[in-house]
Amino acid sequence: MLLVDAVAGELRIVDRLKHKVQLLQGFQSGALAASSVERSLAVLGRYGELLEPLSRSNIAVKGAYALRVADNRATFTKAAEAILGAPVDVISGEEEARLIDVGVSRHLDRGGQNGNEDGRCLVIDIGGGSTEFALSERSKSGRRLVSSLSLPLGCVSLSDVWLSRPELVEAAWRIARQEALSICDDKPKLFHGAEVNVGTSGILESILTVCEANGFSQGAITRLGLHAVESALTSGRWVADLGLPGLAPERTDIFPAGVAILSAVMEKLAIQHVHFSDATLPFGILYDMLSWASDPDPRSHAVDSLMSRFQVDRDQSTRVEARALGLLKSARPSIDRRHQRLLIHAARLHEIGLAIGPQGFHRRGAYLLQHTHLRGFEPHDQQALAWLIRNHRRGLPAGIDATGAKLGFSELSTVLFALRLAVILERARSDTTTVTTKLRLSSRSMELAIDPGWLGGHALMRSGLEEERVLINRLGYSFEF
């Protein structure tokens, strides 16, 4: 957990907490172990005490690999959201890699290791359940993300399978390393040849600390230094309860697996040196929160690509997006950015089905979204996007609140109503529609504040709102304008 103030374009750390809970430990048959869930929620309870004074819009909670693969993740996220008072955003592996790169690259560009030199930088993050790769390129025009990748290869998962008995590490370590090599295969080949290689996450820091404490290497993890650590693990110098000089006691259980993964990665990519950066995923998340609209987000690129491929009317999408965002923010001033981002993407793609045909284009658009790979989108986010496009016009579906709970969007109904009203109000497809609108919500009632004089001169829009009122009332809501 990272608590910061944003001061003069930089992050000033107010508080920083870190607990090794290993949420993936004991993972079986697609389910998180009850003991791991209990342990993790207990830690979140401590974090929640520091979040109470914060506005909900200033809190970001991200879930990574363990929640991506867990069939019972909803049980965990529901309990976590109740503790933290904010939604848990389970991000894709590509998005995790991007956010890690955002944090590390910014630190490098502020004068870190070779950060001001032109060229390619590879960031490697070895986590509990996955390893992320992000390759960025720096030139005079700035830094851009070239490619990202997430592999299902982590310290906790590898330890659980091959290294769960510390007394057998010497014999099992080579098998674990071979498994890491197999998972890597040729997938990271696109990341070969970077001028700078940077490692982040706790396990990489531990490996560097052990290298320096034992004189194996200084300032960076070298191939020779890592080979010396490997030799210590396999030649009788590994003590299960103590580890190696320089290794923190809480890292001894996953340290051999971390060494196996890094060794496999360095071999596959022919890397000679890995520098360390403490700018982990939380830094990238915070930088993304502070300038999220301008950062190179793969989700925005994916949406933009679809708009181009299906020749979406960008002018109309812009009108609907602006109107819908205005309505959403007036109805829920503190709504989190995840809901805002979902509405933005839905507004931009709501007419994508017109490329196939005008009749039932909302259904056609939803079908396209359901069966298209959208880079950077977590499955529930893509399902929510398709659902919004399917329901942005015509009949309203029952069970909106239940759908929102299932997909992890507590304000899905608000997002949908904002989108539907914006489509009605911008039906003229003209930039001359300048009327001011505000949406007020309380319990299951809605009121659209709009100039009655303007409505009197726009019979089509008024008729559309009257039809919408009938549909909304059928769902048990009241709607007035």
pLDDT in tens, 140-181: 767 788 889 999 999 999 998 888 887 678 778 999 999 999
* Single-letter amino acid, residue 406: K
Q: Give the pLDDT band of residue 117 (cuts 50, 70, 90).
A: low
Cβ-contact 433, 425 below 8 angstroms: yes
Q: Judge whether residue 385 has pLDDT over 90.
A: yes
pLDDT of the residue at 153: 94
For 182-204, what is each residue's pLDDT tens digit? 998 877 777 888 889 999 988 99
Q: Give the pLDDT band of residue 8 (cuts 50, 70, 90).
A: low
Q: Record the tokens describing residue 74, joined without a space.
A: 């909803």
Q: Give the pLDDT band of residue 297 (cuts 50, 70, 90).
A: low
Contacts of 220 (CB under 8 A, 6+ apart): 208, 273, 274, 275, 276
- Beta partners for residue 142, in sequence order: 139
Q: Give the pLDDT band of residue 295 (cuts 50, 70, 90).
A: very low
Question: Residues of the chain with pLDDT > 90: what percent?
Answer: 64
Closest CA to 31 of 93, 87, 76: 76
Give the whole-angstrom CA distance, residue 60 versus residue 336. 8
Cβ-contact 118, 140 below 8 angstroms: yes
pLDDT of the residue at 470: 96
For 432-463, what is each residue's pLDDT tens digit? 878 999 999 988 899 999 999 999 999 999 99
Which residue intervals of the chain bear CATH 1.10.3210.10? 297-480
Q: Following CA atoms 360, 365, 367, 373 in sequence, which dihedral angle do they give, to the nearest 10 degrees?
A: 170
Q: Give the pLDDT band of residue 10 (cuts 50, 70, 90).
A: low
For 400-428, what is each residue's pLDDT tens digit? 999 998 888 999 999 999 999 999 999 99
The gap from C-alpha 159 to its chain's centroid, in whole angstroms, comes to 25
pLDDT of the residue at 139: 74
Exposure of 107 by Cβ count < 10 A (0-12 exposed, 13-18 middle, 19+ buried)? Answer: buried
Name the residue with higher pLDDT: 116 or 16: 16
For 63-88, what is each residue's pLDDT tens digit? 999 999 999 999 999 999 999 999 99
pLDDT of the residue at 118: 65
Give the whole-angstrom CA distance, residue 284 versus residue 151. 19
Which residue intervals of the chain bear CATH 3.30.420.150? 93-286
Exposure of 320 by Cβ count < 10 A (0-12 exposed, 13-18 middle, 19+ buried)? Answer: buried
Name the residue with higher pLDDT: 373 or 307: 307
Query: HSE (CB half, 13 Å, CA atoms) of 114?
Result: 17
How far, CA to CA in Å, does 16 sit from each of 2, 19, 50, 250, 388?
5, 10, 11, 18, 37
pLDDT of the residue at 292: 45
Give the whole-angstrom CA distance, residue 232 versus residue 326. 61
> Which CATH superfamily does the domain covering 2-90 fall into?
ATPase, nucleotide binding domain (3.30.420.40)
Give the whole-angstrom CA distance, residue 36 versus residue 23. 5
Give the whole-angstrom CA distance, residue 436 versus residue 230. 67
pLDDT of the residue at 291: 66
Element (H, E) at 136: strand 131-139
Give the whole-angstrom CA distance, residue 34 versus residue 344. 37
Mean pLDDT score of the chain: 89
How is domain 93-286 classified at the CATH fold level?
A: Nucleotidyltransferase; domain 5 (3.30.420)
> Which CATH superfamily does the domain covering 297-480 fall into?
Hypothetical protein af1432 (1.10.3210.10)
Q: Judge whether residue 260 has pLDDT over 50.
A: yes
Tell me what the mean pLDDT of segment 4-16 comes to.
80
Q: Judge whether residue 279 has pLDDT over 90.
A: no
SS3 state at 252: coil
Q: Judge whether residue 103 has pLDDT over 90.
A: no
For 322-373, what is each residue's pLDDT tens digit? 999 999 999 999 898 889 999 999 999 999 999 999 999 999 999 999 998 7
Proportion of the chain in helix, strand, coil states, percent, rounded to 5: 50, 15, 30
How far, CA to CA in Å, does 445 sit from each of 52, 57, 417?
28, 23, 12
pLDDT of the residue at 162: 87
For 204-248, what is each residue's pLDDT tens digit? 999 999 999 999 999 899 999 999 999 998 887 787 667 789 998
Q: Following CA atoms 182, 186, 191, 194 in sequence, which dihedral angle do they give, to the nearest 10 degrees?
A: 80
Which residue intervals of the chain bear CATH 3.30.420.40? 2-90
Tell me what the mean pLDDT of segment 121-133 comes to.
94
